Structure formats: structure tokens, C-alpha cells
Amino acid sequence: MFKKISLFFIITVGFSSVYAQQNIPFRITKYNNIIVKTLVNKKDSLDLMFQIAMKDASISPDRQRKTDHIVFNKDGISENNTVQIGKFTLNNVQFFDHELTGHEADGKIGTAMFSGKAFKIDYDNNRFVIYDKQPDLEGYQPITLLYDHEQFFIAGDNVIGDQQEEAYFLLQSGYAGGLLYSNEFADAKGLDKKLKITGEKTLKNSSGKSVVTKQGVLPNFKLGNAVLKDVSAGFFAGDLKTQTVNYFGADMLRRFNWIFDADRKTAYIKPSKYFSEPYYKIN
């Protein structure tokens, strides 16, 4: 993994002395992506996709809305921007240009808007909650976080055949599907033979080398004491194998409400209203 450029947001928030929290509304697309409506530099109205696997912000080359007031230098970086999300304001925001994002989004925004605070992804009520004090954890179970290079990793148990295999997964809200396995894990565990394969697609690059994506069904996946059945699980085959980490995608993330502690050492999860919904199908 490559270390990403750190970004520090100065967050100006007025916390209620009673509730000690700030709410930020979002919407969920049919691709399971979280979209927040923003006003950048008090001029550009943009829909930005929340990307939990990054801390910075970025603009997509496929954006639908104008970004006339975000000025990039020759390296494709724009500094000292403000981002308003409702009554919530971020100052000194750094944007990167020409980074692909999810459907219906003009760019991405990362986790720096929660810098130094505990925060909640509340899928039941379509909102983020930023806490100034210890949140109410009733009904939640703790799971250990590995926070590395500003990215979140969790351990989950994969039941493959008669074996239970633990693996670490990167929380990846930009991937619409369920689980996506690294090449190393897929090859070592023989997923091509052990999973029920439901779909396959082959692409070739300019050199004629093939990239094969396969979709399968994992009988059981355990996160903490929560067990999900018949989970959608993808992996790569063919000549080119570039997937270096396992993904815990947006379709899995939405099945829980999440609270992340301020130290980024523990996450607390509770099944959301999407826990038993049908799995997203990768085309």
C-alpha cells in the first residue's frame, strides 16, 4: 500500500451542549454509494461521494457540475478550499483533480471531516453523526480496527467449504459490491474451485493479456458475532492480477450502522435495516 498525502481539515462546528453531536445528511444511490451535497468555495454546488478509504477530497473528470471556482495547479492539486455541507463547514480543504468516482458523483470526499472525533455512519437515518463526547453504544458490538495510512481495515471470518479462514479487509465505500478478494487470498484458498461461480467477465488490454473477473457466493461470512449468508464475493483470474488487498465493499458496509472511536482503534457495529437485503449484482 502506498502512503497517501495527509490532509488536515480545520473543522468549524457548533456542537449542542445537550446532544454533543453534529448531523450531516446523505443519500444512498442504487450503487450503494453515499452522496453528500456540498457547496465548494461558496460557488460550486457539487455532489461528492463519501470515500472511507481516503482522507482527502477529489474531483472527477466525468463530473456533471461545474467546478469553476476550484483552481488546480500544474500538479493537479487545489489548496485552501472551503466545503459547506448544510451548516457544517470545512476549511483549508485540498482537492486532487482527475480521480474517478462513483455514479452520480462529481468527486469524492474522505474522512478528514471527522478528524479527531468519533463519528457514526447511520444507514438507518441517512446521516453521519459527529460526536464531541462519548456516543451511546447500547446495542453495538466492538470490533478491532487496524488504521493504516489513513485507511480502515477489519478482520472477518470467511467460511469456505469446511474451513473458516480469517482475513483482513479494507473498508471500501467506493466499491458497490460485497466482498472483493485479493489475488493472493483467492489463489491460496482456491476460490475458483471452492465458491459457487455466478458470473464471469473477460477483458483484454492492448498487449492481449486478459483480466478475468469472477463473481461467486460465499456461504457464510462472520463479522464479530454477526453472520451474513450467501454473500456476494468477487475475485480476479487471468493473466493480469493487480488486486493486492481484500475489499469490504459498500454493499457490506450498508448492512451495519457504524460508530468509529476518535482514536480509530475500535469500530462499533449494529445491523442496519439493510442487513438482510438482496446482494448487489455486479454487471
Encoded amino acid at 94, one letter: Q
Residues 113 and 205 in one domain: no
- Domain membership of residue 200 (yes or no) is yes
Q: Read off the pLDDT of each residue in 202-209 and give the average, rounded to a whole number.
A: 68
Range of the domain at 74: 10-131
Overall number of domains in the chain = 2
Rg value, the chain, Cα: 19
pLDDT digits (tens, 9 = 90+) for 26-74: 999 999 999 999 999 999 999 999 999 999 899 999 999 999 899 999 9
Residues 177 and 267 in one domain: yes
Residues 162 and 106 in one domain: no
- pTM, to two decimals: 0.88
**Side-chain-side CA neighbours of residue 119 (13 Å):** 18
Measured distance CA(132)–CA(14) in Å, rounded = 10
Q: CB-based contacts of 195: which residues, under 8 Å, 6+ apart?
A: 160, 216, 217, 218, 233
- Identify the band that residue 202 occupies on the pLDDT scale cut at 50, 70 and 90: confident
CATH number, domain of 105, equals: 2.40.70.10
Residues 114 and 153 in one domain: no
Residues 118 and 145 in one domain: no
- Chain-centroid distance of CA 124 in Å reads 17
Residues 151 and 266 in one domain: yes
Does the structure show a pLDDT above 70 at 245? yes
Residues 47 and 169 in one domain: no
Q: Which three cell numbers stand for residue 262?
A: 476518535
Q: Which three cell numbers stand for residue 212?
A: 478475468
Residues 201 and 103 in one domain: no
Range in 209-218, 222-231, 259-268 with the lowest mean pLDDT: 209-218
Residues 157 and 123 in one domain: no
pLDDT digits (tens, 9 = 90+) for 100-111: 999 999 999 999
Strands 146-148 and 151-160: antiparallel
The whole-number pLDDT of residue 212 equals 85
- Please give the residue that has the higher pLDDT: either 246 or 133: 246
Dihedral, CA of residue 272, residue 135, residue 148 and residue 250, to nearest 10: 20
Of 108, 131, 154, the residue that ends a domain is 131
Of 131, 164, 180, the residue that ends a domain is 131
- Domain membership of residue 190 (yes or no) is yes
- Identify the band that residue 211 occupies on the pLDDT scale cut at 50, 70 and 90: confident
Residues 62 and 145 in one domain: no
Measured distance CA(234)–CA(182) in Å, rounded = 9
Q: Read off the pLDDT of each residue in 144-157 and give the average, rounded to a whole number.
A: 95
Mean pLDDT value across the chain = 89
